[in-house]
């Protein structure tokens, strides 16, 4: 009894003593030896035995990290990335969990010491806590064996930063493969998401089809078709258990489904005629946009409405908890540039798909509706005196216009460019405004989404409550990539190149693409954000390299820059060498032809036969 009383007194004294000096905590980790590539997600099994009187959890500013020494024991990097604890270690308890980790160290052999850190205060080993040793053999990501195994589509531009990025983008897709019964089910949006989301799938399919077989990607989209309502409404996400749900404050799920299907239809137009639960895929796309037109379009305004979110976000200005993702009694109807722009793009592409399958009536319907929304978007949402589109207008709240019109929404305006709502002069003016604000706020990239963000407390949800956090002005390459892609396609090559280089160099240094980063540059949210990887891949292939794809052909510019490009996608396999004489070599071709645009005012040379062809440069 005396020993128990003494132990109780000691625990009380420890709890009353500032700091955690003398606490007894032990970490173990398995496996003890790991072989991985830079940027490859690895699952480690941790056990934390907490014999102290303290609760060890990320809410209390505790994280797992490691110290990296070389094989001889010389410290190579003491401070490394922090990983949140997925479960708390309560006093007197043992906690077990799996933790996805990755490494951005230089390739080599390391001895890792996994440790607990209380951020800004101390490392566990300095308090006598027991750490966990792991041997790491870290392989280079940029390597011939990785290229041979995972990069059938490959380019060489002569710019190291650009060429290296394709390896990281491919690794991000691999890290997000969701498997079910041994087969690829879909891609997670990021490593902390257990679901596949349609808006992220829409930004991935165009790039992922250069690395995955068409049936696999078609199956991913079919899962959203199967979850579609009889009226045409589209769900936000699906998972491997068959569950699905929708954040109803958005109005981009239906348009995202169309945009996800579009690149797959370019590869196989006949697939659109196939049926899902008795209804053709083309008809299901028609139903999806019809649902949006009937249920989320205000006839008086002629615009698509959604909840009051931060530009493209899915968290509304209503409740401080999960209720903020659903329309409710506190919702305010808003008309955002982002929602209109995605509708316009989806309607444009649905018209082309319908035309391809011979449905002139459907194609005509969506062209008329697209023109109608585009006209109203320009009339009601463009601010000529500011040089950009407003975030959104709020129904019965035009009093917000006096301050909200001063916010430059990068995402909404990037999508407006992609929808063809801005001419070249207007884009040039938009860029001047963007650069002025970027300098004013001293931002490291153009991926920050709102300039300026909404003020402190405007959104009650804690994720958006502070400026420059999450969707309220955080740095999202998922958005910055859209702007880069739009600028390339609009002919603003120098600006796009500079912006892309900033994003790529940061991503390569981190060997990661975070979901978002705060203003201090700290990565937040999910690691390996696949939606961002998809849009950045699009910016590289279709923007930087200028590849253009139609139903029957590819068009590749004979650019002044030297490059080599190998395409391997479905039944299409061809190579273009622009490093000397312009050479195109076709191994196989499912489309009719590959064309090379020899420059402004020059002719387009098309090749359909197998073999090697030399084309005269302009």
pLDDT in tens, 62-94: 999 999 999 899 999 999 999 999 999 999 999
452-461: average pLDDT: 96
The pLDDT value recorded for residue 604 is 84
Q: Give bridge partners of residue 336 from the DSSP assignment.
A: 392
Query: Does residue 559 contact residue 618 with C-beta atoms inside 8 Å?
Result: no
For residue 440 the two structure tokens come to 């004013």
Which pLDDT score, from 0 to 100, does residue 402 have? 73
Please determine, for residue 208, whether its predicted confidence score (pLDDT) is greater than 90. yes
Superfamily of domain 2-139, CATH level 4: Immunoglobulins (2.60.40.10)
* Per-residue pLDDT tens over the stretch 514-562: 999 999 999 999 999 999 999 999 999 999 999 999 999 999 887 768 8
Average the pLDDT over each of 159-168, 217-226, 442-451, 601-610 and give the range with the smallest value: 601-610
Contact 306, 251 (CB under 8 A): yes
Q: Please state, in angstroms and rounded to a whole number, the distance separating the CA atoms of residues 175 and 191.
A: 7
Least confident of 9-13, 260-264, 565-569, 597-601: 9-13
Percent of the chain residues past pLDDT 70, beyond the cut = 94
pLDDT tens for 328-385 read: 999 999 999 999 999 999 999 999 999 999 999 999 999 999 999 999 999 999 999 9
CA distance linking residue 310 with residue 59, whole number of Å = 26
Q: What is the pLDDT of residue 290?
A: 98
* 142 compared with 71, residue with greater pLDDT: 142
pLDDT of residue 34: 97
Taking 80 as the threshold, does the pLDDT of residue 20 lie above it? no
The mean per-residue pLDDT over the stretch 181-196 comes to: 93
What's the pLDDT band for 14 if we cut at 50, 70, 90?
Answer: very low
Q: Kindly report the backbone phi and psi dihedral angles of residue 440, in degrees, each rounded to the nearest multiple of 5, phi listed first.
A: -60, -40
Please provide the DSSP assignment of 406-470 as one string: T-EEHHHHHHHHHTT-S-HHHHHHHHHHHHHHHHHHT-SSTTB-EES-PPTTSS-STTTSSTTBT
Average pLDDT value for the chain? 93
To 10 degrees, the CA torsion angle through 487, 493, 495, 496? 50
What's the mean pLDDT in 474-487?
97
Do residues 129 and 116 make contact, with C-beta atoms less than 8 angstroms apart?
yes
Checking if the pLDDT of 108 tops 80, the result is: yes
Domain ranges in the chain are 2-139, 553-615
Establish whether the linkage from the previous residue to 452 is cis, with ω within 30° of 0.
yes
pLDDT at 36 over 70: yes
Q: What is the pLDDT of residues 388-410, one digit of tens each?
A: 999 999 987 666 677 789 999 99
Instruction: State the pLDDT confidence band at 15, using cuts at 50, 70 and 90.
Output: very low
pLDDT at 579 exceeding the cut of 90: no
Q: Could you tell me where the beta strands, DSSP code E, fall in 141-298?
A: 154-156, 177-180, 183-187, 196-197, 237-238, 244-245, 275-276, 279-280, 297-298
Question: Quick one: average pLDDT of 246-253?
Answer: 97
Question: Whole-angstrom Cα distance, residue 239 to residue 178?
Answer: 9
Contact between 540 and 208 under an 8 Å Cβ cutoff? The reply is: no
Average pLDDT score over residue span 171-186? 95
For the segment 130-151, the average pLDDT, to the nearest whole number, is 97
Mean pLDDT, rounded, for 466-476:
97
Least confident residue range of 12-16, 29-33, 198-202, 576-580: 12-16
Residue-wise pLDDT for 338-352, tens only, equals 999 999 999 999 999
Residues 6+ apart with CB under 8 A from 137: 33, 34, 35, 36, 109, 110
275-306: per-residue pLDDT in tens? 999 999 999 999 999 999 999 999 999 999 99
What distances in angstroms separate CA 292 from CA 223, 252, 344, 371, one per listed residue? 20, 9, 12, 16
Q: For position 12, what pLDDT does the model report?
A: 46
pLDDT at residue 599, rounded to an integer: 65
Say whether pLDDT at 19 is over 50. no
CA distance 245 to 418: 28
């Amino acid at each position: 009894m005396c020993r128990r009383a003494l132990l109780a007194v000691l625990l009380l004294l420890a709890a009353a003593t500032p700091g955690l000096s003398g606490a007894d905590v032990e970490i173990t980790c398995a496996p003890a030896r790991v072989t991985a590539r830079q940027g490859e997600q690895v699952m480690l099994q941790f056990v934390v035995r907490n014999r102290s009187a303290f609760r060890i959890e990320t809410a209390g500013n505790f994280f797992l990290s490691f110290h990296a020494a070389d094989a001889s024991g010389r410290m190579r990097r003491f401070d490394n990335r922090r990983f949140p604890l997925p479960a708390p270690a309560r006093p007197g308890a043992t906690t077990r969990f799996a933790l996805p980790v990755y490494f951005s160290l230089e390739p080599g052999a390391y001895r890792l010491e996994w440790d607990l850190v209380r951020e800004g205060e101390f490392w566990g080993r300095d308090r006598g806590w027991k750490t966990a040793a792991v041997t790491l053999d870290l392989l280079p990501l940029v390597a011939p064996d990785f290229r041979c195994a995972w990069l059938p589509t490959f380019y060489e531009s002569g710019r190291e930063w650009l060429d290296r990025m394709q390896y990281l983008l491919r690794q991000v897709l691999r890290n997000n493969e969701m498997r079910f019964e041994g087969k690829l089910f879909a891609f997670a949006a990021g490593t902390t998401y257990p679901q596949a989301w349609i808006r992220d799938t829409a930004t991935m399919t165009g790039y992922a089809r250069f690395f995955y077989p068409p049936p696999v990607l078609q199956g991913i989209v079919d899962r959203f078709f199967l979850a579609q309502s009889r009226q045409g409404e589209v769900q936000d996400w699906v998972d491997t258990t068959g569950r699905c749900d929708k954040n109803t404050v958005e109005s981009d799920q239906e348009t995202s489904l169309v945009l996800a299907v579009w690149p797959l239809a370019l590869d196989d137009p006949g697939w659109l005629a196939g049926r899902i639960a008795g209804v053709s895929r083309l008809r299901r796309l028609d139903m999806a946009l019809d649902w949006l037109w009937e249920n989320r379009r205000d006839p008086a305004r002629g615009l698509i409405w959604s909840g009051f979110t931060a530009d493209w976000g899915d968290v509304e200005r209503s409740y401080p908890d999960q209720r903020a993702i659903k329309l409710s009694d506190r919702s305010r109807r808003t008309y955002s540039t982002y929602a209109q722009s995605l509708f316009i793009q989806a309607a444009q592409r649905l018209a082309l798909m319908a035309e391809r399958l011979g449905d002139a009536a459907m194609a005509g319907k969506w062209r008329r509706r697209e023109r109608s929304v585009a006209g109203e978007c320009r009339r009601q949402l463009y601010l000529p005196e500011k040089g950009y589109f407003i975030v959104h207008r709020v129904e019965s709240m035009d009093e917000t216009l006096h301050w909200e019109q001063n916010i430059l929404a990068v995402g909404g305006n990037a999508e407006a460019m992609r929808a063809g709502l801005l001419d070249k002069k207007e884009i040039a003016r938009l860029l001047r405004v963007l650069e002025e604000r970027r300098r004013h706020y001293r931002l490291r990239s153009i991926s920050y989404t709102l300039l300026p963000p909404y003020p402190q407390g405007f959104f009650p949800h804690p994720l958006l409550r502070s400026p420059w956090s999450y969707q309220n002005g955080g740095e999202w390459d998922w958005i910055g990539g859209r702007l880069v892609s739009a600028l390339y396609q609009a002919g603003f090559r120098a600006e796009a190149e500079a912006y892309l280089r900033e994003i790529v160099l940061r991503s390569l240094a981190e060997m990661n693409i975070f979901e978002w980063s705060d203003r201090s540059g700290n990565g937040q949210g999910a690691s390996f954000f696949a939606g961002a990887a998809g849009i950045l891949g699009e910016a590289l292939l279709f923007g930087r390299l200028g590849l253009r794809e139609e139903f029957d052909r590819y068009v590749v510019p004979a650019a002044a820059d030297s490059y080599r490009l190998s395409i391997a996608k479905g039944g299409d396999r061809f190579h273009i060498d622009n490093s000397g004489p312009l050479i195109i070599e076709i191994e196989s071709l499912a489309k009719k032809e590959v064309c090379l645009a020899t420059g402004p005012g020059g002719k387009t040379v098309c090749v359909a036969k197998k073999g090697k062809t030399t084309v005269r440069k302009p």
